[in-house]
Amino acid sequence: MLGRKKIEWVSNYMPLLNYIQETYKGVFDGVKIAMGIHLEAKTAYLAITLKKLGAKVFVTGCNPLSTQDDVAEALEEFGIIVHAKRTNDEGVYFKNLNKILDYEPDLILDDGADLSVIVHTKRKELLKNLKGISEETTTGVRRLKNLEENKLLSVPAIAVNNAKMKHLFDNRYGTGQSTWDSIMRNTNILIAGKNIVVAGYGWCGRGIALRAKALGANVIITEVDPIKALEALMDGYRVMKMSEAAKIADIIVTSTGMKDVVKFEDILAMKDGIILANAGHFNVEIPVKEIEKHADKIFDARNNVKGYVINGKKVFVIGEGRLVNLAAADGHPIEIMDISFALQTLSLIYLKENYEKLENKVYDYPESLDIKVASLKLKSLGIDIDKLSEEQKEYLKGF
């Protein structure tokens, strides 16, 4: 019942999915869709939407810790097949992924590309029936592109992450808000006046940095890209190497998509009581395993916060170094996911209708669909904008 209530709540703030449910009825009749998602109320409402459009829907997680079990339960009441459980056991996690794939999906809606990579490596027999993949994240797109470069990609894939309405919104406004929502609720510490280190100044990183600054923090950026480093500097942040930043940090948030962004030797240089959180897709950015190995004491410090004593100093890690807004909170704000999921749904419709014409490569998100989602969102907000006149369009062509 609690899961169902959560789903009802989000349906209040998802005007685009509600619109799509009305407008595209029957579009997926007979289509089998496998979803690998952070299973909570918003993704549940996406699954329900796909079902209402006619699809047979099979749902699993895309991260061991991000499944909310009450929501998973509620979803089954809607006639959706679910294999997902919040767990620390990666074996269980992958077993569930495989169970979903057993249904031989026509389309995969992926988040991080775990389903897609399994299909292309360990379970190639499933490629026969598969028509296309729609992938949500930066990390997943990178993995699919690597498959493509290695000539392994066997179906067309759409990089939903590359939609402007995705990476400009989800990664920036979504991650920005939800990362701090999670850190604040899990620690109750003051952000104002703190030295906060954000590793990575991509779209996620700048969202995280912007909100940290807005909450009164003194933000320090680490980067490997000199252009992004300069942008950070001119946005008013300090820019340093991690080995320097670690010494003065009160909180470190990683958001790079890269492994070992914080090194164990950085941990040793940190202040007593340092708080570490990761906002990147995989739990490889903070060296949690090494911390565990070297800790003199490990204890539950608070819900979702683990404490370690190393060389007499306390180190706190939120959500086990998994992406902090999902592993230790409710993920992105509802309206952000409404936009992303409208993109996803239109992407799946596009794949279903065009897969025969498409090559086996990673496609950028179709621009016309991107603009369509933006226009729908503006309409749902009652906002009217200017349009170019014919004369103005003509002017654009001049030289």
User: According to CB under 8 A, which residues from 284 to 303 bind its own copies?
Assistant: 284, 300-302
Asked if 390 touches its own copies (CB under 8 A), the answer is no
Nearest to 236 by CA among 280, 266, 201: 201
Nearest to 160 by CA among 139, 143, 135: 135
Q: Which two tokens stand for residue 325?
A: 């807004």
Query: Cβ closer to its own copies: 90 or 386?
Result: 386
| Residue 158: CB minimum distance to its own copies, A | 17
| Residue 195: CB minimum distance to its own copies, A | 9
Asked if 399 touches its own copies (CB under 8 A), the answer is yes
294 annotated ligand-binding residue: no
Cα–Cα distance for residue pair 310/112, rounded to 1 Å: 33
Q: Find the angle CA(272)-CA(65)-CA(68) to the nearest 5 degrees.
A: 125
Among 28, 169, 341, 365, binds its own copies (CB under 8 A): 169
Cα–Cα distance for residue pair 45/37, rounded to 1 Å: 12
Asked if 230 touches its own copies (CB under 8 A), the answer is yes
Block residue for tokens 């670690």: 246
Q: Which two tokens stand for residue 288?
A: 């949690």
Cα–Cα distance for residue pair 66/204, rounded to 1 Å: 19
244 annotated ligand-binding residue: no
222 annotated ligand-binding residue: no
Asked if 239 touches its own copies (CB under 8 A), the answer is yes
Provide φ and ψ at 191, rounded to 5°.
-90, -40
Interacting positions 313-352 with its own copies (CB under 8 A): 314, 329-331, 333-336
Residue 140 CA, chain-centre distance (Å), reads 10
Provide φ and ψ at 135, rounded to 5°.
-115, 135
Interacting positions 350-389 with its own copies (CB under 8 A): 370-371, 374-375, 377-378, 381, 383-389
Asked if 143 touches its own copies (CB under 8 A), the answer is yes
| Residue 288: CB minimum distance to its own copies, A | 16
Nearest to 3 by CA among 48, 50, 58, 36: 48
Query: Cβ closer to its own copies: 83 or 377?
Result: 377
Interface segment toward its own copies; rule CB under 8 A; list 92-100, 167-175, 288-296, 342-350 = 167-175
Length of the chain counted residue by residue: 399
Among 81, 92, 215, 309, binds its own copies (CB under 8 A): 215
- Binding residue positions for NAD(+): 137-139, 202-207, 223, 279-281, 325, 332
- Binding residue positions: 137-139, 202-207, 223, 279-281, 325, 332
